[in-house]
Amino acid sequence: MEVQTMKITKIDYAATGAFSQTITDYLCRGEQLRPFYNHFPTVEAFEAQLKEKSFSEAQRQTLHQALQEQYTSIAEVNPNVQQNIDLLQQSNTFTITTGHQLNIFTGPLYFIYKIITAINTCKQLQEKYPDYNFVPVYWMATEDHDFAEINHFNLFGKKYTWESEQTGAVGRFSTKDMEQLLAELPEAYPIFEEAYRNSKNLADATRAITHELFGAYGLVSIDGDHAGLKKALLPVIEKELTEQLSNKLVEEASAQLEELGYKPQVYSREINLFYLTDGLRERIVQEEDKYKVLNTDLSFTLEEIQQEAQEHPERFSPNVILRPLFEELILPNLAYIGGGAEVAYWFQLKKLFAAYKVAFPLLMLRNSALYISRSNANRMHKLDLQPQDLFQDYQELKKQLSAQIHEEDIDLTAQREAVAAAFAEVEKLAKEIDPTLEKAVGAEEQKAHNALQMLEKKISKARDNKHEQTFKQLENLKDKLFPGGTLQERKDNLLTYKTNNPDFIPALIEAFDPLEFKFTILEEE
């Protein structure tokens, strides 16, 4: 497929002003953060990670079987995906994982950027380490229960929302009540409509969508909400219930990070587990010698809840603290790719991984981008701006533009000084002839001064009016490229770009370098 030509500009993340100090310090390999991760992600660092990650044949068989079951929801599995699923049985196959909520219609653009970062990382590693296989994995956050976070998306500036009364883990939600939303769409989007209409739940629909978009690249999507996979979590569940181990270790790390001036991204609970059944995902809390499920009548003794875990591990759902550990227990994983806040919260988890003797993965910041369409690129060039200029505040850019448009501000100081000098001469002459004229001269001087001041304002205003159209174009360009004053990737949806440029995904795959850790600006030529 011929990809539309793009002009690519790379800038430092710090230069965008859109990323936290934690992340910019990490990318600069700041010494303060060094104790909170294992290896910094370079191509060479993967060699050490390959040696540290142990994953048995039995674990591989469990994983392979679970994926085979999950992919029965896809009518025709892409050969590249099937090959990768089968390769996971081999001892020299490893994964590069990213994870995200099941946002409808893929939600904000960064969902797509995460997956492309994983795909491109595998490509680079395959070249560097040809004796191994590398599989890109999308971890579907099927057990998440925050429906309000995933039930909407923005398309061409309009918000579309899926209204549903369903509760519990969103991956289990039936997609049957999406018809009203599908009817509101401005045009047909077959990939999405077929997935939502033909899948039994949101997890299957999301797998169908990512398979359609990224199947050719071998992306494997995994759902942790699976009884076979959850068995790996049993030792963790046991320690959560009896020792509350994760809470102690995460709180220690959080306190150390806070001392260094880094704000913790997530907060630990005494027990970092939810109880999960259809329509229900609620926290497990210990009250004296009982384990209760909040907002329900469910209550267990220690023996009862231990037996429940043995018989039904699928009913125990890790929260944000334990999900990363669960992921690393069931995948032969080398690196986790996340957004800024995600990478920052993994720093709170290293002690937890050490306690369970699980290799801590390399932490990679996903690729970020600003995509400038041809029409917006034309506007930008007309304003004589460079892509990196666009990250400046609007008022700063307006000043820059003003300086370009007129060489200097309207300033009549020199003229005022000349008038003042002339009146000084007149005043001197008047005083010699008749001292009583001094006040009259002073009054006329003030009038002249006021007149010049008023003229200066009028000329400035006339100049501003003349260039108001230019400033309006600048404002519109900023609004288009930074919707709501934030990065495009945090608001806009894939379809906003793919509809006008069918090669949008291949263009990103060509442009993104996952281990360069630079912000990418793509400009249509």
- pLDDT top residue among 81 and 443: 81
Q: What pLDDT is stored for residue 1 in this prediction?
A: 40
| Helix (H) / strand (E) containing 158 | strand 158-161
| 525 confidence band (pLDDT: 50, 70, 90) | confident
pLDDT digits (tens, 9 = 90+) for 296-328: 999 999 999 999 999 999 999 999 999 999 999
Q: Are 121 and 514 in contact (CB under 8 A)?
A: yes
Task: Convert 422-452 to b/e letters by CB count within 10 Å (16 or more is b).
Answer: ebeeebeebeeeeeeeeeebeeebeeeeeeb
Which of 299, 301, 266, 267 is closest to 282 using CA atoms?
299
What CA–CA distance (Å, rounded) separates 247 from 348?
A: 11
Is pLDDT above 90 for 7? yes
Calculate the alpha carbon distances from 343 to 37, 121, 132, 145, 266 in Å: 10, 16, 26, 22, 11
Average confidence (pLDDT) over 250-279: 95
What CA–CA distance (Å, rounded) separates 49 from 56?
A: 16
Instruction: Tokens 């932490």: give the residue.
Output: 363
Question: DSSP class of residue 268?
Answer: -
Average confidence (pLDDT) over 397-401: 84
- pLDDT top residue among 463 and 273: 273
Q: Are 423 and 441 in contact (CB under 8 A)?
A: yes
Q: What pLDDT is stored for residue 115 in this prediction?
A: 98
What CA–CA distance (Å, rounded) separates 51 from 67?
A: 25
Average confidence (pLDDT) over 508-519: 96
| Mean residue pLDDT across the chain | 94
Provide, rounded to the nearest whole percent, the portion of the chain with pLDDT above 90: 84
Of 115-119, 316-320, 444-448, 514-518, the least confident: 444-448
What CA–CA distance (Å, rounded) separates 201 from 214?
A: 20
Q: What is the pTM of this model?
A: 0.88
pLDDT digits (tens, 9 = 90+) for 10-28: 999 999 999 999 999 999 9
Instruction: Tokens 């334990």: give the residue.
Output: 322
* Residue 5, helix vs strand vs coil: coil
| 416 confidence band (pLDDT: 50, 70, 90) | confident
Longest distance between any two alpha carbons in the chain, whole Å: 115
Q: What pLDDT is stored for residue 410 in this prediction?
A: 72
Is pLDDT above 80 for 464? no
Is pLDDT above 90 for 282? yes
Average confidence (pLDDT) over 204-225: 98
Q: What pLDDT is stored for residue 2 in this prediction?
A: 45
Is pLDDT above 90 for 295? yes
Handedness of CA 308, 309, 313, 318 (dihedral sign): positive
pLDDT digits (tens, 9 = 90+) for 229-256: 999 999 999 999 999 999 999 999 999 9
